[in-house]
Amino acid sequence: MSQPLQPWGGPPGATPHADAMTASDEMVQLLTPEGRRVEHPDFAFTGDDAEIAGLLREMVLARRLDLEGTSLQRQGELGLWPPLLGQEAAQIGSGRAVRDADMVFPTYREHGVAMLRGVPVGDMLALFRGTSMGDWDIDEHRFGQYQIIIGAQTLHATGYAMALQRDGLIGNPEPDRNAAVLVYHGDGASSQGDVNESYVFAASFQAPVVFFCMNNQWAISEPSTRQSRIPLYQRAWGYGFPGVRVDGNDVLAVKAVTDWAMERARQGQGPAFIEAFTYRMGAHTTSDDPTKYRLSEETEAWRRKDPIERVKTYLLDAGAIDDGWLSDLDAEADALGEHIRSTCRQLDSESLAHRFDVLFREPTAESEDDRDAHLSYLARFEPLSEESAR
């Protein structure tokens, strides 16, 4: 009979990585589902209640953005929408640990992080409306394009982090000069070759990149146990960097853990892995039907761990906010909803001919000829359509 793994996930006889964080078998939590602050030996949320209220506000707005996305898809205004419902704390907590100089690489679900990075809501919706390829200004917002190929962005993030190293932007004594990369991927992506290769490259080059694994328990219909036999955060040890599991529905813990990992990376201490233990309350996308593969009891159990409710409870109990504050926030969310809906309905696409113009930075005669042939073909129909209009 084979020997069991050691409690921290390592093989028999092995010793844990020098960085004791890896050995932690506990999920970091600083705010319970009941809204009670708790201590953790390694991590603390250092902000005040005003900052927590700010996080609550952003989670509420992210949830509204998401609900509008789902509704717009149901109304036929969007072709598809991947909901973030349930992952507000994981997104806002981590997104708030990113500074302006840092770079973020998202999956296709990080709408809350996109909002924090100032990505215009129209740019976000355009991808799902089919009026663009998702072309917000990456350099201005320091937020990469949404990535549909599962896990491909982890390599881009690692390469970007290697570029930061070469630019001399890590390990400087002036902390403001330093930068790091935060990259999101899901539990399903943890099986992808690219993701595993990115861990190897990040470790090998000690690149300043933090892998934020959004373990929302489901890769479409497959549970996370289909991807891994051990807790995902324990894999990090094998690649040579620390891994931490955090309560992904606890915005304070997510912020504290991501702050730690990003600062570590900025200072030149290499990559880290964060497993945010959370739950996809909604469908994978608006095309999915989760009732076919998971029980309503499970969803109900997670509903009691709602990331927003616990923060509300805490702040109300602490007297930091009141009902008036919350109704102001509701009004702000309503205004955001109206803005999203009107923006979405105005989005239109450039013509196909434009796609030829952005094929290459240095255009070829070949692609210009193709575009011109396409345009002259279309031009042949114009007199005909005028005639039929008469």
Partner 1 sequence: MSTMTMAKALNAGLRRALDANPKVLLFGEDIGKLGGVFRITEGLQKDFGEERVIDAPLAESGIIGTSFGMAMRGYRPVIEIQFDGFVYPGFDQIVSQVAKFHNRTNGRSSVPMVVRIPYGGGIGAIEHHSESPEAYFVHTAGLKVVTCSNPNDAYWMIQQAVASDDPVIFLEPKRRYHDKGEVVHESKPIALHQARIVRGGTDATLIAYGPMVKTCVEAATIAEEEGRSLEVIDLRSLSPIDMVTLTHSVRRTRRAVVVHEDVRTLGVGAEVAARLGEELFYLMESPVLRVTGHDLPYPNSRVESDFLPDVDRILDAVDRSLAY
357 binds partner 1 (CB under 8 A): yes
Please report how close the Cβ of residue 88 comes to partner 1 at its closest, in angstroms.
Answer: 28
Residue 149: CB atoms within 10 A of its CB come to: 10
Please report how close the Cβ of residue 192 comes to partner 1 at its closest, in angstroms.
Answer: 10
Adjacent-strand bridge partners of 211 = 183, 273
362 binds partner 1 (CB under 8 A): yes
131 binds partner 1 (CB under 8 A): no
Q: Which is nearer to partner 1, 199 or 233 (CB)?
A: 199
- Candidates 111, 156, 185, 264; binder of partner 1 (CB under 8 A) is 156
- Candidates 152, 180, 252, 256; binder of partner 1 (CB under 8 A) is 152
157 binds partner 1 (CB under 8 A): yes
CA distances, 195 to each of 177, 191, 221, 225, 226 (Å): 28, 7, 20, 17, 16
268 binds partner 1 (CB under 8 A): no
- Candidates 198, 216, 217, 234; binder of partner 1 (CB under 8 A) is 198
50 binds partner 1 (CB under 8 A): no
322 binds partner 1 (CB under 8 A): no
Please report how close the Cβ of residue 166 comes to partner 1 at its closest, in angstroms.
Answer: 6
Which region among 147-155, 226-234, 252-260, 374-382 touches partner 1 (by CB under 8 A)?
A: 147-155
Please report how close the Cβ of residue 364 comes to partner 1 at its closest, in angstroms.
Answer: 4
191 binds partner 1 (CB under 8 A): no
26 binds partner 1 (CB under 8 A): no
Please report how close the Cβ of residue 373 comes to partner 1 at its closest, in angstroms.
Answer: 11
The footprint of partner 1 (CB under 8 A) covers 132-135, 137-139, 144-145, 149, 152, 154-164, 166-167, 193-194, 197-198, 200-201, 204, 355, 357-362, 364-367
